[in-house]
Structure formats: C-alpha cells, structure tokens
A = this chain, B = another copy of it.
Amino acid sequence: RINGERLWASLMELAKIGATPKGGVKRLALTDLDKQGRDLVVGWAKEAGMSITIDQIGNVFMRREGRNPSLPPIMTGSHIDTQPTGGKFDGNYGVLAGLEVVRTLNDQGIATEAPVEVAFWTNEEGSRFVPVMMGSGVFCGAFSLETAYAAKDTEGKSVKDELARIGYMGEQVPGQHPIGAYFETHIEQGPVLEDADKVIGVVPAVMGLSWYDCVVTGMEAHAGPTPMGLRKDAMQVSTYIMQEVVKIANRYPPYGRGTVGMVQVFPNSRNVIPGEVKFSIDLRNVNDELLNTMHEEMLAFIDKTRSDSGLAISIERVSYYPPCPFHPDCVGAVREATAKLGYSTMDVVSGAGHDAIYAARLAPAGMIFVPCKDGISHNEIEDAKSDHLEAGCNVLLHAMLERAKI
C-alpha cells in the first residue's frame, strides 16, 4: 500500500508553484513556473534514485531500473502544466501518483523484473499552445516535431524557443523510448463516480473528439432603422446552429457530447446587428461511427441553414482524434487490482482526452479514474479527496506490479 499522506503532501507542495488566490493553479506550459514545477518533480525523482531522460519535445522520463534493464519499462505518467484557471489535481495527480509508487517500492525494497518509469508529457492542456496533448502527440507520431516546435502562443513565442529557454529541450528523438505498458491515473473531471458513490473508475475507452471553427457572416447594420425583414443578423442565425450542436449530441446518448464554448461577435456593439459571429463546436462520442454521424448531421444542418438564411457560413475542422479503446490486458490489470484491494468501482468512459490515448498507439494502455468534487475541473475550485487519491494510487501500484513482475 502506498503512503497517502506523502502523496497528498507532494501534491500540495507542487500546487504552490503558480498557486492562485482562489485556491487553484496557473502553471501554463513552458513558462518559468512550468520550469519550477518540472525542476521540483525531477529533484524528487532523483532523491528516489531515478535516472532522467528528456526528449526533444521536453517529455521527461524518470526511471527506476529493473532486474532486466533490456525489458521495455512499465510506464505511468500524465502532465504538470495546467489551464489558466486550473486546479491542483488535473495531470499533477497522475505524475505524483507514479512517483509515490516508486517511493513505496523503495520503502518496501521491492525489485521489479521490468524497469518502472514515470513520465510527464509537455503541454497536455493546449491552453498556451495548440495542438493539445502536444508532447504525447509528437511522441506517438500523431503530428510532427516541426509542427509542435512552430506552435506559438498569443504573444508570438514559439514552443521551440520556450522549451530551450526553460532548459527542457532534451536530446532523445521523440518515440524512440520503448514502453512495455502504460497506465495513467487521473481525476475523472466529470460527475459520474461521485453521483454513483464509487471510488475507482475503470476506464474502458476515451471518447473521440472533433473540434470545429464556424463563422457566420451577415451584414452589420443599425439596430434601430433596419426593418426586421431586411436584416442579415449573424448572431440570430448562429443561435440555430448552436442549439443544433446540443440537439445532435442528445440524439446519441449516453456518450454524445456537443458544446459551444467560445463565441466571438463582431463588431459586438449593442446597437449594431452582428455582421460576423465566430464560434467553436466540440463534438464527442465513444463510438467513431456515431461521432462521424454527428459530424455529418452537423454539416447537413449548416448547409440547410446556409440556404435558408442566405448568409455565408464556413465550417472548418481544427482537431480530431478517434475514440480510443484501451488494451484488455491493461484494463484487466486495473480491474483486478481494484477487486483485490476491495474498492467500490464502476466503468467510466473518459470524456476528456488524455496523454494515455497517444501512448496507447505504441503500447498496451489503461487508465484509473478517481472522483473529483462535483465533477468540476478546468476550474480553480477543482477538488478531490485524499482517500480517493490514495485508493487510485494503490490500484496503480498493483496494476503496474502485475505487469512489471516482482
């Protein structure tokens, strides 16, 4: 069994770096604060006797040697960058749970056949730089190192320059690092476990995701003198598409998701009929065929709206990854560890993307969820219970040992 207090203490220590007044954390990828966070975690790993490898996109692999160093390591990990209004647990928990597993093995003097590694991946959140899940994405070849290096933040600073600046541009070629199996513990970031009063979520799969930018172009005109019948109101036309996004998701329960999170209105003046509205669409489903059906229905609705309204409407897909079912061996290892430890449990499909889906392209992978308060994440009030974090870490320990062999 791991040491829950030590895990909690490490989480709180790391959360001091970039702590916000409302109790959250703002530690954006590749900032000075990210460097401080990375240095702290790497320091802890070294204290635990681990060796460090850094790749060219700044992913960090912290290794506890096995009896058979030529075996591919059993890996766990996550990320330590946060949202601008992020919490203490998203990502950080997965990394520090891994470190706690190693500390426990050290305490108990347990040697493993295969090496054990803890990774943290660069820029998972995608807040400062897109694409999201950048480090693991480059690692598995979802997109190139050059694409990632060229990404710029809103101030025009590039990933390449910022990585070099904080001293985390390593030498290893991304993806040239072997993985025997990959596990990731994470807060659920949704309300399902808490609602069902379960401690451990076994994650059979992660939903696929499709992101779009939609732009509706009308004609801005004065809100007073322009008769209703002569208007080309981009906001009004947008509202019908926005409602359809939710209707489409509701047509494909229980895993259909549809969200309009970002809206920009031009010129955004109280007495001007909006001439242009740009908004994001986020569609998800755990079934790729259904996700594709949702995609098609949305395009069809946009075509219909275009011809009904006479307004110009453009739609562009800006991100996509398919649903990711996890490997039966890893899902099984999590399920068995949970049963052995006697925690209440249920299966929870992940609605959020995680580095595990990219690791899963190279090795068997699985995930362990624990509840978070009110299902809230990407919010400074994100919270989780120490017992639940401890339970998830115990499951991780046993699942990893099952694969690494004592």
User: Which A residues form the contact surface with B (CB < 8 A)?
Assistant: 83-85, 126-127, 130, 132, 188-192, 207, 209, 211, 219-228, 230, 233, 235-236, 239-240, 242-243, 246, 249-250, 253-254, 256-265, 267-275, 280, 282, 284, 350-353, 375-379
Contact = CB atoms under 8 A, between A and B. Distances in A.
A378 B377 CA distance: 41
A349 B191 CA distance: 55
B254 A261 contact: no
Contacts of A262: 265, 268-270
Nearest to A225: B190
Taking each of A192, A264, A265, which has the highest tally of chain B beta carbons within 10 Å of its own beta carbon?
A265
Contact of A272 (B191, B209, B261, B265): B261
Contacts of A191: 225-227, 230
Contacts of A84: 267, 269
Contacts of A236: 242-243, 246, 260
Given A228-B258, A236-B246, A264-B268, 5 more contacts: A85-B267, A221-B377, A228-B246, A236-B243, A259-B273
A224 B284 contact: yes
A264 B269 CA distance: 11
A16 B194 CA distance: 62
A208 to B, nearest CB: 10
Contact of A261 (B227, B243, B274): B274
7 contacts: A190-B225, A222-B378, A225-B351, A226-B375, A261-B270, A263-B274, A267-B378
Contacts of A233: 246, 259
Nearest to A280: B270
A371 to B, nearest CB: 11
> What is the interface of chain A mostly: helix, strand, loop, or mixed?
loop
Contacts of A222: 189-190, 351-352, 377-378
Contact of A375 (B192, B225, B268): B225
Given A225-B192, A225-B352, A242-B235, A269 B127 contact: yes
Taking each of A130, A219, A261, which has the highest tally of chain B beta carbons within 10 Å of its own beta carbon?
A261
Taking each of A263, A275, A377, A378, which has the highest tally of chain B beta carbons within 10 Å of its own beta carbon?
A378
Given A246-B228, A269-B84, A271-B378, A235 B223 contact: no
Nearest to A353: B224
Given A243-B239, A261-B269, A378-B220, A225 B85 contact: no
A192 B127 contact: no
Taking each of A188, A219, A271, which has the highest tally of chain B beta carbons within 10 Å of its own beta carbon?
A271
Contacts of A259: 223, 233, 271, 273
B220 A379 contact: yes
Contacts of A250: 228
Nearest to A253: B228
Contact of A223 (B227, B257, B375): B257
Contacts of A242: 235-236, 239
